[in-house]
Structure 1
Amino acid sequence: MKILFLHRNFPAQFRHLISHLINDPGYDLAFITNRKEAKLKGMTVGFYDLTRQVSEHTHSYLKNYEEFIIHGQGTARIAQKLKDKGFYPDVIIGHTWGQNLFIQEVFPDAPLIGYFEWFYNSKGSDTDFGKITELPLNKRANIRIKNSPILLDLISCRTGFVPTKWQKQQFPDLFHYKLNVIHDGIDTDICKPAPVRKGLDLHRLKLSIPSDCEIITYSTRGMEAYRGFPQFMEAVSAILKDRPEAHVVIAGEDRVCYGAQLEKGRSYKQMMTEKFPMDPDRIHFTGLLSYPEYLTLLQSSWVHVYLTYPFVLSWSMLEAMSSGCIVAASSTPPVIEVIRDNENGFLFDFFSTYQLAEKIIYVLENQDKLKYIRDNARKTICMNYDLKDCLKKQLNVIIGVISNRP
């Protein structure tokens, strides 16, 4: 069975699926990506260059569309080269960031499975979160056009994957029959509690926190408003003043992955550390961690904090729960699909730093009697998001699509 994967990055959300299939002689895998360093033994990887950047003269509504088209063109050109070498996929699995736009012009007989991460809405999701008034017309119109290439994928695909129910709800009802809610999966055999919770030792960073110190953890790709970094920093600044044994460990980069940048080139880390100065010996910015280091961090956590706008749910929250963390998280829709307050975690209002600080302190002061939260958190992930189960569901969809080819 020949499968062609499409994604700007590599291997991205297809990492687990590819790892599962790559050593099976029954599968012949290929991947087209814009990531130059992409290599993986056992599969063909095709890299495309961008022929140009989005023009500064393009209408502002169409800049995102033009970017998608440029990626789609690059993908199609590499796909044609694969075809010329005799690679004809039985199925194509592609992320909906433009890669799928022209792929069926190259392989018209190959069914397309879309990976649908997000559909933009001007009401009730990330774009108007926390806003009292309606978004301006210009912004609403831009959002409407931003969905155009995604709609083309919804029309073209045979079926699709979407990671959570909340994310599926963002898409028009008309297409719900095509969307299978299947998460990418959490490897619960790796993301698991330590036999005995100790302090934190990250030898590469020369960071060591003794086991009798309270460890508050936060992990993110980027320190940004979408993931509640400002609220987190404000809350922990008050906690560190009152709790001399508390340490805060923040894993992630000082950048913005989602949402708007601050003006004048400032970062959220810069802004919040200036606004809320903290003892540098007790607040630790690790930068990006290797996966083993990241798991060590989660296993050391007394309380793990996660905030998000009504947007895509991060793997990190589920990995923390699988690792037996007590998670204090914002009571936003993607979170409450997973966490039930005082049952498998704790919830607080996204904009209330007082509530957040209150939840953190409660968890720090009641570690022994909250073991049931840790146990229930892991049980939730093992029952609903375990990698082995998610892979089975994904493969069932893939095999079903191939079996029903005309």
Structure 2
Amino acid sequence: MPDPRSPYFPDIRLLNHFPGQYLHIVRDLLAEGGHEIVFMTEPNRNNLAGVRKVTYARPPATHAAVHPSAREFDVAMRRAEAGYAGANQIKALGFVPDVIIGHHGWGELLNLCDVFPGVPILGYFEFYYRLDGTDVNFDPEFPMSDDRYGAVRAKNGVNHLAIALEQHGQTPTHWQWRTYPEWARERISIIREGVDLDVCKPDPMARRRNLGVGNLKVGPKQKLITYVARNLEPYRGFHTFMRALPAVLAARRDVVVSIVGGDEVSYGAAPASGTWRSQLMAEVGDRIDPDRVHFLGRVAYDDHVKLLQRSDAHVYFSYPFVASWSLREALATGAPVIGSDTATVTEFVHHEATGLVTPTLDHDRLAETTLRMLEDRKLSARLGAGARDYAADNLDLKAYLRAFRAEIERITGQSLTPPASAPVRKAAKPKAPAPRSAAKRGALAGTAV
């Protein structure tokens, strides 16, 4: 229960794979002091001093008799059951939170209102699965037959239960917010996620010195093209990127390419055999110089930032799906970004202002756009500066933390900080209009685009 001696907000519980996307807010609250944070999660090796981590057993694999379209839901219900049991154990020890925060994608939050009735829940609503306007059949190269449409709709089972809790939600972009039905948006706030602008920042000297990461070496007289994804797969435009490379490499002998990402599958289906990298290399590998194109796998974060700071053209493509952190980081470092023409990307990359936009599935246009970026130094410098300015105005981690804290205060009616140290909030100057639902609620500082 709240400590009457402290003006802080002491009891907070978060869920999901620790610490997940909550690392920054947890660190912020720990640095401030006076908060009691309990994090319930699947077992993992991560720990943060000052956070009590409570684990629950990972649910077993779903039974083969469960209908394929219901297997995700079955696992989510098992997680909900495990979360319920874990929460009861926490409650038995005398801990009652003031707010519960977690990701609604996995199911753990669904039954906590029965353990802690009246405690507000702030859930992360990441994506609402649709048959139109998102990833399904976006790419004609990988069509989905209509007999699988029911499975897509079934993926919203947890979404619907979470909305039916009539609690509170947040999502990081306007596009993700718009994937949800209009009847659900009223309960979902937009809190734009930010990056550390003191870490992800331009390095004016980066192109004047040699850079080495793994087997990649690039000197001041060379041009560096960068590509980053969690895994190399069509959802992130890897096939378009690879098919564009032969023309770019042939046109410019000074080009070196850095490709960061694993060979697993994060989104969509796996290839019929091998990996997407092996599939694309079988298609275009005979036209790619291995001494100039470097597959770096997964790299240390410091090296990731150095590559972005040095980049002469950073390619970020995506199907209409959730945007990656690497896009935000690229903009913050002032990398000249080439983005796909999907709303996922164009919410961040504004053509001729914060980058160049080109068709997602057209590798010839990507090659042309990349060469334009490499050849026009004034253009790339202007776009890099525009990207950094956009990040400073819209993607500041400090602003994100203020907005997240403000949302906690709004839904709980309690202050997170003593009045003497509360941040001074100035009126936001959004570059795009706030969504209608946020305007109805009265958007909080830091939530505007």
Which TM bucket (shorter chain)? over 0.9
Please name the residue that 1:280 is paired with: 290
- Deviation string 1:99-128 (CA, Å, 9 cap, x unpaired) is 111122222221111101001001111112
Please name the residue that 2:360 is paired with: 350
Using the TM superposition, give the Cα deviation of residue 133 of structure 1 relative to its aligned residue in structure 2, in angstroms. 12
Distance in 2 (alpha carbons) for counterparts of 1:54 and 1:317: 35
Matched, 1:302 2:312: yes
Q: Which moved more, 1:268-277 or 1:361-370?
A: 361-370
- Deviation string 1:314-335 (CA, Å, 9 cap, x unpaired) is 1111110110001001000111
2:338 to 311, 325, 328: 328
- Cα 1:125/1:206, change in 2 over 3 Å: closer
1:14 to 7, 11, 22: 22
Please name the residue that 1:183 is paired with: 192
Task: Report if aligned partners of 1:113, 1:157 keep a CA contact under 8 Å in 2.
Answer: no
Q: How does 1:73-92 map to 2 (within 5 A)?
A: 73-92=81-100
For 2:394, give the aligned amino acid: N
Using the TM superposition, give the Cα deviation of residue 244 of structure 1 relative to its aligned residue in structure 2, in angstroms. 1.4
**Partner SS for 1:397:** helix
Using the TM superposition, give the Cα deviation of residue 130 of structure 1 relative to its aligned residue in structure 2, in angstroms. 2.9
- Cα 1:111/1:120, change in 2 over 3 Å: same
1:222 to 231, 236, 255: 231
Matched, 1:117 2:123: no
Distance in 1 (alpha carbons) for counterparts of 2:142 and 2:329: 36
- Cα 1:135/1:285, change in 2 over 3 Å: closer
Q: CA RMSD in A?
A: 1.9
Q: How does 1:84-103 map to 2 (within 5 A)?
A: 84-96=92-104, 97-103=106-112
Using the TM superposition, give the Cα deviation of residue 34 of structure 1 relative to its aligned residue in structure 2, in angstroms. 1.5
Matched, 1:4 2:2: no
Distance in 2 (alpha carbons) for counterparts of 1:318 and 1:235: 23
Using the TM superposition, give the Cα deviation of residue 369 of structure 1 relative to its aligned residue in structure 2, in angstroms. 4.2
Q: How does 1:7-46 map to 2 (within 5 A)?
A: 7=16, 9-46=17-54
Using the TM superposition, give the Cα deviation of residue 243 of structure 1 relative to its aligned residue in structure 2, in angstroms. 1.6
1:153 to 136, 142, 162: 162
Please name the residue that 1:393 is paired with: 403
Please name the residue that 2:271 is paired with: 262
Please name the residue that 1:207 is paired with: 216
Matched, 1:173 2:182: yes
Matched, 1:244 2:275: no
**Partner SS for 2:32:** coil
Please name the residue that 1:143 is paired with: 152
Distance in 1 (alpha carbons) for counterparts of 2:238 and 2:355: 19
Distance in 1 (alpha carbons) for counterparts of 2:166 and 2:388: 35
- Cα 1:174/1:241, change in 2 over 3 Å: same
Using the TM superposition, give the Cα deviation of residue 166 of structure 1 relative to its aligned residue in structure 2, in angstroms. 0.3
- Deviation string 1:177-215 (CA, Å, 9 cap, x unpaired) is 111111221111111001322255245x25321111110
**Partner SS for 2:314:** strand
2:204 to 168, 172, 195: 195
- Cα 1:242/1:125, change in 2 over 3 Å: same
**Partner SS for 1:217:** strand
Task: Report if aligned partners of 1:125, 1:311 keep a CA contact under 8 Å in 2.
Answer: yes
Q: TM-score normalised to the size of structure 1?
A: 0.95
**Partner SS for 1:92:** strand
- Cα 1:235/1:76, change in 2 over 3 Å: same
Q: Which moved more, 1:21-30 or 1:248-257?
A: 21-30
Unaligned runs of 5+ in 2: 1-9, 416-449
Using the TM superposition, give the Cα deviation of residue 74 of structure 1 relative to its aligned residue in structure 2, in angstroms. 2.2
**Partner SS for 2:206:** coil
Task: Report if aligned partners of 1:114, 1:157 keep a CA contact under 8 Å in 2.
Answer: no
Using the TM superposition, give the Cα deviation of residue 44 of structure 1 relative to its aligned residue in structure 2, in angstroms. 0.7
Distance in 1 (alpha carbons) for counterparts of 2:215 and 2:135: 38
**Partner SS for 1:180:** strand
**Partner SS for 2:269:** coil
Using the TM superposition, give the Cα deviation of residue 340 of structure 1 relative to its aligned residue in structure 2, in angstroms. 1.5
Using the TM superposition, give the Cα deviation of residue 20 of structure 1 relative to its aligned residue in structure 2, in angstroms. 0.8
For 1:45, give the aligned amino acid: K
**Partner SS for 1:30:** strand
Matched, 1:366 2:380: no
Please name the residue that 1:66 is paired with: 74
**Partner SS for 1:23:** helix
- Cα 1:268/1:376, change in 2 over 3 Å: same
Task: Report if aligned partners of 2:235, 2:319 keep a CA contact under 8 Å in 1.
Answer: yes
Distance in 1 (alpha carbons) for counterparts of 2:352 and 2:272: 39
Distance in 1 (alpha carbons) for counterparts of 2:407 and 2:35: 16
- Cα 1:360/1:2, change in 2 over 3 Å: same
**Partner SS for 2:31:** coil
For 1:192, give the aligned amino acid: K
